[in-house]
Amino acid sequence: MTTTTAPRRTALYESHKLLGGKIVDFHGWELPVQFESILREHEATRTLCGLFDVSHMGQVFATGPDALAFLQKVNANDISKIGPGKAIYSHLPNERGGVVDDVIVSCLAKGRYLVVVNAATADKDFAWFEKNARGLKVELENKSDFYGMVAVQGPNAVEVVKLIEPKALALPRFGAMEFVFHDHPSFITRTGYTGEDGFEFIVPNEIVVRLWEDLLAQGRSFGARPCGLGARDTLRLEAGYLLYGQDIDDEHSTYEANYGWVVKLDKGEFIGKHLLVKQKKDGVNRKLIGVKLLERGVPRPGASVLFEGRETGSLCSATYSPSLACGIGVGYLDRPDLAPGARVSIVLHGREIPAEVVKVPFYQSPHLKKGA
Amino acid sequence: MFDPKSLKFMKSHEWLRLEGDAGVVGISDHAQKEITDVVFVEPPKAGRKIKQGEACCVVESVKAAFDIYAPVSGEIVEANAEAVKDPALLNREPYGKGWLFKIKATAPGEAAKLMDNAAYEQFLLAEAAHGSH
């Protein structure tokens, strides 16, 4: 192992070991890649309920009279659109056409926001926030080490969550609320990374084990299973969600990632706007495009994509899709004009496997209303 | 189902059942647990001639691809079409229906270089001890 720092563990590490979780290093965090089987965990989340430890994710609070102005400055999405009790997915553009991170911003009250950031980027994000908050009346707090986070996902998530906090059922998709769990102020958002209905709990580390055990116990009769990073990755890729550091990064823009709906150019000034305006006007030279294998095989990140015999890019995320029972992937292709149905091939073990450009998301849950 | 005690093993976790020059090859129970959720198997075609230690087959799980090495030299007699159709057989019955291919060994004596079940289990213990921090 070549990590320079000791791997970090979430408060649920011992619980995962007890449940037979197979632990791997994920961006410096020791997390379970699976408990029993990635396929079974994937299936449980699509049809019943999956429980995920996402405590490695970070939490930053922005509070003060200029909190909204600050968030508008660093986000591509229009944070003024969310009032108390609502959350929004957004990108943090940098000044050279890339993305600092993708985040979910929740409005807790007027002038008080919670930003959930990625694990690997939490420190980078916080430094970026502090730099860009100078001169503004906003207090920033990085509480990533204080909170744990658990996602409850799948069509039965409502049944499981009802037994923990019945008020959460009133949350709309991308709703956010505060609640008290075992005397500790905590948060629930109706969000997730699976393409299913679901909830994410943010609670202090000292009570996250109690929450996890409650969810396992209450969830048993609804088919809830603990799930690892393996299923999390197949679920999110099927749902067309980006993985920061793999699908987007400091060098790839929101438009290139085909996430243009996140950019609100009419909201006023924000960091990196001029580059996005230019990209919107001129178009992009490369675009994140979804492909589906037409023959058997499992594509992996890094696999070359050929169009008319010429290399046109490579896959940044790719896997076997349990829901579609075929190989899928996304990659930046230098032919942004390729439309669904276009034939390409993917190079696997030195062989060219026929594939087809398809619309992302690859999978639309029948349990979740379209566009939700 | 073969009794693991009747099999020979490679350090790369393939097993071989050999009777005379008729061999059957698969991956060990330990290997299927490590690989997890096999979703794709590409065994060598019948008629192909392979050498001991040669990569001749690909087994893929959700997470990764694995090369399978020939435990002995010989000619492929049959690929397991059932395992191609239902790759999870490798997880469910690694020593039975989840076999990969049958081979006619040209030098059955090569099997002497492989480990028996007891030696393989010792090897796994040593690997586990070495692998842990």
- A63 and A15 fall within a common domain: no
- State whether A298 and B36 contact (CB < 8 Å): no
- State whether A34 and B36 contact (CB < 8 Å): yes
Q: For residue A294, give its domain range.
A: 285-358
Domain stop point among A104, A131, A158:
A131
Instruction: Determine the Cα–Cα distance for residues A179 and A166; give it in Å rounded to an integer.
Output: 11
Judge contact between A322 and A234, C-beta under 8 A: yes
Q: For residue B25, give its domain range.
A: 4-131
Query: Does A280 reach chain B within 8 Å, measured CB to CB?
Result: no
- A151 and A39 fall within a common domain: yes
- A45 and A150 fall within a common domain: yes
- Who contacts A205 (Cβ-Cβ below 8 Å, separation ≥6)? A11, A55, A145, A146, A147, A148
- State whether B39 and A320 contact (CB < 8 Å): yes
- A342 and A218 fall within a common domain: no
Q: Residue B131 — pLDDT band, cuts 50, 70, 90?
A: low
Instruction: Determine the Cα–Cα distance for residues A259 and A271; give it in Å rounded to an integer.
Output: 17
User: Global pTM?
Assistant: 0.93
Q: What percent of chain B has pLDDT over 70?
A: 98
Chain B: give the shortest CA distance to residue A238, in Å. 13
- Who contacts A115 (Cβ-Cβ below 8 Å, separation ≥6)? A59, A60, A61, A62, A71, A103, A104, A105, A106, A125, A129
User: Any idea what the CATH number is for the domain that residue B106 is in?
Assistant: 2.40.50.100
Q: Write down the H helix ranges in A97-187.
A: 122-133, 157-162
- State whether B60 and A230 contact (CB < 8 Å): no
Encode pLDDT of A179-215 as tens digits: 999 999 999 999 999 999 999 999 999 999 999 999 9
- With contacts defined as CB-CB under 8 Å, which chain B residues touch A229? none
Instruction: Determine the Cα–Cα distance for residues A271 and A273; give it in Å rounded to an integer.
Output: 6
CA-nearest residue of chain A to B58? A349
Residue A6 has a pLDDT of 82
Encode pLDDT of A9-21 as tens digits: 999 999 999 999 9
- State whether A300 and B65 contact (CB < 8 Å): yes
* Overall domain count for chain A: 3
- State whether B62 and A320 contact (CB < 8 Å): yes
Whether A321 maps to a domain, the answer reads: yes
Q: Residue A370 — pLDDT band, cuts 50, 70, 90?
A: low
Average pLDDT over residues B105-131: 93
- A42 and A68 fall within a common domain: no
Average pLDDT over residues A335-362: 96
Chain A: give the shortest CA distance to residue B65, in Å. 8
CA-nearest residue of chain B to A234? B62
Chain A: give the shortest CA distance to residue B16, in Å. 25
- State whether B62 and A234 contact (CB < 8 Å): yes
Residue A372 has a pLDDT of 44
